[in-house]
């Protein structure tokens, strides 16, 4: 019996910071590939999550939240978002139900006007508002672009995600399977490990620290069949930030390491020995060579 047609393609997730793009991607893929935090600008690279079924494969590009660049890092993030739109088959424009349309949305909408591919308006965080409020929330956006469809979802609880996925699969062209069925991301393990460590820094330290943090995974060595040794530097811009991350008697750094190790062990399926150091590199976000060293490559622009 002949198999039915296989659909595949690339779908960009775009939206203001903190509307839940990474949470949505993680729910769809079923494993942590994009880090989540309530601090704006968490996602810095075009993280690809891969969703595969018997009849389709969707490769998601999770773009950085659109914001006004203030540093070279910010400028990279801006270009990263816009370049993602040149290589896709559909766009999920994600907005938060509990936030009003703002200048950031107008900026995104203006850029999306040139996109020829189908655009879906995904209204996320519907679990935070009363259902009666939805028509008003949708009304802020529905005439802004010729949306293919408007889909209210809760990425946190999984509400209506299946509806969204079914629609996307039907919309995508007939095409090949780009990645093996069991692969969920095209990023190397080193990148994903760095993201997991950075997530813990975001979760545990004060608000002024995260924007100035990068993770440099210096080595990953397998000791035996069950144990992996990982060394990484947490890069900050100022000595005061180093003190915050190390914490009193090293307790904050220890906690970051413990939490990150649990996630990394889940990723690798091995026992992990994780050693972290904190390194001060003044102004790293404005130095192109350092951006490259910490994983922000020109090929991602």
What domains does the chain contain, in order, with CATH numbers? 7-171 (3.40.50.300), 189-300 (3.30.300.20)
The annotation status of 62 as a binding-site residue, yes or no, is yes
Q: Is 63 annotated as a binding residue?
A: yes
Report the pLDDT averaged over residues 136-144: 92
pLDDT tens digits, one per residue of 15-31: 887 888 888 888 888 76
- Tell me if 66 is assigned to a ligand binding site: yes
Q: What is the pLDDT of residue 168?
A: 92
Judge whether 152 is annotated as a binding position. Answer: no
- The whole-number pLDDT of residue 78 equals 52
With a cut of 70, say whether residue 35 has pLDDT above it. Answer: no
pLDDT for residue 28? 86
Query: Any binding-site annotation on 176?
Result: no
192 CB contacts (<8 Å, ≥6 apart)?
33, 185, 267
**Half-sphere exposure for 125 (CA within 13 Å, toward CB):** 16
Tokens of 193: 């490990």
Task: Find the range with the poorest average confidence among 110-124, 159-173, 271-285.
Answer: 271-285
Interval 79-105: pLDDT, tens: 555 555 666 889 999 999 999 998 889
Structural contact between residues 94 and 24, judged by C-beta atoms closer than 8 angstroms = yes
Which pLDDT does position 299 carry in this prediction? 38
User: 188-237, pLDDT tens digit by residue?
Assistant: 577 778 888 888 888 888 665 666 788 888 777 777 667 888 888 888 88
Q: Provide the pLDDT for residue 135.
A: 93
**17 marked among binding-site residues:** yes
75 annotated among ligand-binding-site residues: no
Distance between CA atoms of residues 174 and 120, nearest Å:
19
What's the pLDDT score for residue 69? 47
Question: What pLDDT does 258 receive?
Answer: 93
pLDDT computed for residue 40 by the predictor: 44
Q: What tokens were used for 180? A: 């093996």
State yes or no: 16 annotated in a binding site: yes
Confidence of residue 153 (pLDDT cuts 50, 70, 90): very high
């Amino acid at each position: 019996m002949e198999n039915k047609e296989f659909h595949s393609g690339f779908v960009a997730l775009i939206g203001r910071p903190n509307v839940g793009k990474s949470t949505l991607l993680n729910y769809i893929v079923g494993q942590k590939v994009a880090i989540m935090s309530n601090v704006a600008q968490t996602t810095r690279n075009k993280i690809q999550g891969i969703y595969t079924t018997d009849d389709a494969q969707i490769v998601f590009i999770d773009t950085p939240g659109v914001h006004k660049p203030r540093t070279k890092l910010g400028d990279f993030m801006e270009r990263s978002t816009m370049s993602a739109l040149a290589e896709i088959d559909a766009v999920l424009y994600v907005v938060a139900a509990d936030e009003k349309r703002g200048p950031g949305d107008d900026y995104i909408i203006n850029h999306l006007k040139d996109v020829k591919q189908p655009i879906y308006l995904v209204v996320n965080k519907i679990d935070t508002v009363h259902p009666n409020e939805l028509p008003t929330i949708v009304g802020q956006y529905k005439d802004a672009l010729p949306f293919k469809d408007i889909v209210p979802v809760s990425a946190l609880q999984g509400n209506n995600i299946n509806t969204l996925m079914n629609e996307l699969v039907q919309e995508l062209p007939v095409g090949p399977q780009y990645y093996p069925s069991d692969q969920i991301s095209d990023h190397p393990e080193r990148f994903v490990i760095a993201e997991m460590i950075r997530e813990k820094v975001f979760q545990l330290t004060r608000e002024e620290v995260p924007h100035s943090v990068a993770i440099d995974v210096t080595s990953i060595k397998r000791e035996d069949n069950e144990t992996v040794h990982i060394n990484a530097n947490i890069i900050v811009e100022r000595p005061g930030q180093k003190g915050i991350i190390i914490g009193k008697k090293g307790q904050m750094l220890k906690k970051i390491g413990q939490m990150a190790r649990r996630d990394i062990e889940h990723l690798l399926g091995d026992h992990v020995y994780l050693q972290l150091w904190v390194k001060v590199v003044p102004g790293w976000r404005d130095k192109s060579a350092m951006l490259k060293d910490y994983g922000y490559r020109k090929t991602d622009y």
